[in-house]
Amino acid sequence: MTNMLLILSVCFIGAGLLPFFRWLKCKIRKHHWRVCEISTITSVVNTRVSPLDLVQQQSMLVSFRFNGDMHSVVVDLDEPLFNLYKQGQSCTLLVDKDNPSRVYKNALLWQNFGSIWLFAGLALLGLSHFIN
């Protein structure tokens, strides 16, 4: 029983560490990118294809300044980012210095799931230690 809990806890800890490794890899790979403050965010919907309720892939138009020029890109709808912008808080995104049309949004969703898996794995590891 304790060996099974130990193996399960190691699997949970591994599943919890994978999102953090992915986040770290993205940070290292995007190290040469530049942080730009978002000027405006506009919700974009293609109403010619289907009504708003039936649109599965909603988008938003994000405008930002990069090297003194105004750029705009269409990205997938990010509710937390959109809500932060509506509240008047400063919002940023990472922009490729060689191609300003390539952007990267920092999302903390996978880190939250990873911390839950990591906590569950540590709890199972502690439980296997106390049962032994």
Overall pTM surpassing 0.85 (yes/no): no
Q: Indicate whether 11 pLDDT > 60.
A: yes
Mean pLDDT score across all residues of the chain = 77
Query: How far are the Cα atoms of 73, 81, 96, 126 from residue 60, in angstroms, in the given order?
Result: 8, 11, 19, 45
76 or 54: which leads in pLDDT: 76
pLDDT of residue 51: 53
Rg (CA), the chain: 20
Q: What is the mean pLDDT of residues 109-116?
A: 72
- The string of pLDDT tens digits covering residues 61-70 is 888 888 888 8
